Amino acid sequence: MNMKSTLFKSASLLGALCLAISGCSQTKPANNDAETTVYFNANIITQNPDMPRADYMAVSQGKITAIGLGDDVDITEPLLGAANRLDMNGATVTPGFIDSHVHVRELGLDAVKADLVGVKNVEDIVARLKAYAPNPTPGQWIIGQGWDEGYFGSVGYPDRAALDAAFPDNPVGLESLHGFAGFYNGAALAVAGIDVNSPDPEVGTILRRENGEPTGVMLTLAQGLVNQHKPKRTQAQLEEAIKAGLLKMGRAGVTSVHEAGMAADDVDAFLTLAERGELPIRVYGMLDGNNETLMQDWFARGALDDPDDWLDIRGVKVFYDGSLGSRTALMAAPYSDHPERANPTERITPDAVLSLGEQSAEHKFQMAVHAIGDEGNNRTLGLYERALSTQPAHDHRWRIEHAQVVLPDFYDRLAALGGIASVQSSHAVGDSGWAEDRVGPDRIKHAYAWRRILDAGGRLALNSDLPGEPWEPMETLYFAVTRKRLDGTSADDGTADDGWYVDQALSVNEAMHAMTVENAYAAYQEDALGSLAIGNWADFVVLSDDPAAVAPDAIKDIDVTQTFVAGKPLNEFKASKE
């Protein structure tokens, strides 16, 4: 069965379309062609430089067949043929947003974990866990996520004593906001056999009390010592989590995602969903490059390129260094605050990254390396330059995921390489309370420096890295334009201001371009996705307001009222298991 053949099996009824968009009206010509719908009287932001704005668009069999300007659409014109007509009443229409760095399985799974986002101390953590699991069965694991390792890295990491007292009979495993630390109680450490005599793993750190006992906090790969003992999800549960995450994203206006770091079981789940026609939005897969067995299998197999763009697998996502918040990112000079607490981490050797790069170039896979620290980014660029120099020139579009803190020569080197900086606007505002403490007033000028990347001629892909921070497209856009948190501040004292290093902010048009066209380019899909043009897939969203017409601070309040994928409203999606 074609992987897309059952995705949208039934044709959309015009009445259902009309209900999906508040206040729309419809007319049908006498000679009706039910396969074509014309959306007119719309404010269409096309992201097509040849026609930046339009007010009508015709869609047939999932693709755009006409788009243009006019006071109305004459349904008798040969260009449009006989068609259903849908009056949009001036609503703003944009290309569907593409989130080019996500962990969608985790988004789906987070719904069944204790939510720890925003906790400020261990007492907050215990209170959240008590509300989540007031009477747990002895021996049952309690899983939570969302405590901010960057914030706690500034105020002091928590100790497990309060967790031990609250849950003496239950292993507790708490994932951090960005995934670079875990927090465990004594019962979980006992299950894993971790005690005062346990050595640190080769890559990772067990934080310890003065007497050598583990505090319960494990950095980077040390988490795996305990996580391997947590209950594993079944394949059916993974599939349901992925589907739930994709649907949630779709309803928020995302029509395509780039899944960053597919493990082997993730690949199986995505492939199964695609074959069953149960992917509600499009997926571009980046394989877990740290898994040598998985990569050798895929290099032998070759990239997956679906002509209908429901599931492509072509990327190689490599975790190289750590994070700034946990002081595990690779820096060229010591951390400015508490260098004695830093544990710079290489999660994979440079030789292994170089080998992956050479094989990726040979087999036409796209490298995408996680690099946070300035030295991590410097080494990644150097490895890219070496790997590509040994191969015939090709359209590689290699990416650096995060490009968070960089050296001054980074911008010109990235542009000369033809690489892509894949950045997260939420990280800048989420880290604004402590990032300058980590790197000091000079290096911070080359951190989250999106404007410098663009000014040097580099390409910028803008995304969320969900589920670690607020991720909905209007939030991502707001962060990029204002460099403010959702409460209008960028400082921990809660006072309103003009934004954090706002000289590096993007304009609305630049940010929207990076969230659509550039993200499509970053997946080799710019000829089919990212802009509303004839021949492209009809992936689009309807907004309550025009982001370019409202005050920047109001962007976050814009609603996505409907999402269309291949011309069909997402609220009509029915997963098929035939």
pLDDT at 548: 97
The residue from 227, 255, 276 where one domain ends is 227
pLDDT at 73: 60
pLDDT at 24: 43
Establish if 187 belongs to a structural domain.
yes
Task: Calculate mean pLDDT across residues 394-416.
Answer: 97
Element (H, E) at 271: helix 264-275
- b/e per residue 495-508 (b: at least 16 CB within 10 A): eeeebbbeebbbeb
Q: pLDDT confidence of 11, banded at 50, 70, 90?
A: very low
Taken in order 317, 321, 323, 329, the sign of the CA dihedral is negative
Within this chain, do residues 49 and 122 fall inside the same structural domain, yes or no? no
Establish if 479 belongs to a structural domain.
no
Task: Calculate mean pLDDT across residues 349-357.
Answer: 97
Domain containing 134 — which CATH number?
3.10.310.70
pLDDT at 224: 93
Q: pLDDT confidence of 553, banded at 50, 70, 90?
A: very high
pLDDT at 556: 98
Give Cβ neighbours of residue 72 (< 8 Å, ≥ 6 apart).
40, 41, 56
Total number of domains in the chain: 2
For 519, how many CA atoms within 13 A lie in the half-sphere containing its CB?
Answer: 34
Within this chain, do residues 125 and 142 fall inside the same structural domain, yes or no? yes
Within this chain, do residues 151 and 50 fall inside the same structural domain, yes or no? no
List of long-range contacts for 498-504, beta carbons under 8 Å, 24+ apart = 500/428, 500/429, 500/432, 501/428, 501/444, 501/445, 501/448, 503/451, 504/428, 504/448, 504/449, 504/450, 504/451, 504/452
Establish if 156 belongs to a structural domain.
yes
The residue from 179, 203, 227 where one domain ends is 227
384-396 pLDDT, tens digit per residue, is 999 999 888 889 9
pLDDT at 112: 85
* Distance separating alpha carbons of residues 473 and 99, to the nearest angstrom: 8
Give the SS3 label for residue 541.
Answer: strand
Within this chain, do residues 32 and 113 fall inside the same structural domain, yes or no? no
Within this chain, do residues 140 and 90 fall inside the same structural domain, yes or no? no
Establish if 141 belongs to a structural domain.
yes
pLDDT at 7: 29
Task: Calculate mean pLDDT across residues 292-303.
Answer: 97
For 461, how many CA atoms within 13 A lie in the half-sphere containing its CB?
Answer: 32
pLDDT at 74: 62
Q: Give the count of beta carbons closer than 10 Å to the beta carbon of residue 6.
A: 17
The residue from 209, 227, 245 where one domain ends is 227
Do β-strands 53-60 and 205-208 pair in parallel, antiparallel, or remain unpaired? unpaired
Percent of the chain with pLDDT over 90: 83
- Is the predicted pLDDT of residue 146 greater than 60, yes or no? yes
Q: Which amino acid is it at 156?
A: G
**310 near 295, Cβ under 8 Å?**
no
Task: Please provide the size of the chain in residues.
Answer: 578
* Distance separating alpha carbons of residues 26 and 38, to the nearest angstrom: 10
How would you list the strands of the sheet with 114-115, edge to edge? 114-115, 142-147, 172-176, 181-184, 214-219, 205-208
Q: pLDDT confidence of 205, banded at 50, 70, 90?
A: very high
Within this chain, do residues 80 and 113 fall inside the same structural domain, yes or no? no
Mean pLDDT of the chain: 90
Task: Calculate mean pLDDT across residues 289-306.
Answer: 97
- Is the predicted pLDDT of residue 373 greater than 60, yes or no? yes
pLDDT at 180: 87
Task: Calculate mean pLDDT across residues 473-489.
Answer: 96
* Distance separating alpha carbons of residues 354 and 358, to the nearest angstrom: 6
What tokens were used for 33? 């062609």
pLDDT at 81: 64
Within this chain, do residues 81 and 114 fall inside the same structural domain, yes or no? no
Which tops the pLDDT comparison, 4 or 417?
417
Within this chain, do residues 199 and 128 fall inside the same structural domain, yes or no? yes
Which tops the pLDDT comparison, 200 or 79?
200
**11 near 34, Cβ under 8 Å?**
yes
Q: pLDDT confidence of 13, banded at 50, 70, 90?
A: very low
Within this chain, do residues 85 and 153 fall inside the same structural domain, yes or no? no
**Which value, in Å, is the radius of gyration of the alpha carbons in the chain?**
24
Establish if 443 belongs to a structural domain.
no
pLDDT at 162: 96
DSSP H stretches of helix in 287-423: 292-301, 350-363, 374-389, 410-417
* Distance separating alpha carbons of residues 269 and 186, to the nearest angstrom: 34
Task: Calculate mean pLDDT across residues 249-275.
Answer: 97
Residue 569 domain boundaries? 1-96+530-578
Within this chain, do residues 157 and 57 fall inside the same structural domain, yes or no? no
Establish if 335 belongs to a structural domain.
no
* Distance separating alpha carbons of residues 20 and 572, to the nearest angstrom: 10
Which tops the pLDDT comparison, 109 or 5?
109
φ, ψ at 110 (rounded to 5°): -60, -25
Within this chain, do residues 84 and 116 fall inside the same structural domain, yes or no? no
pLDDT at 111: 82
Establish if 4 belongs to a structural domain.
yes
pLDDT at 492: 66
214-235 pLDDT, tens digit per residue, is 999 999 889 999 999 999 889 9
Domain containing 557 — which CATH number?
2.30.40.10
- Is the predicted pLDDT of residue 547 greater than 90, yes or no? yes
Nearest to 397 by CA among 443, 458, 476: 458
Within this chain, do residues 78 and 146 fall inside the same structural domain, yes or no? no
Establish if 185 belongs to a structural domain.
yes
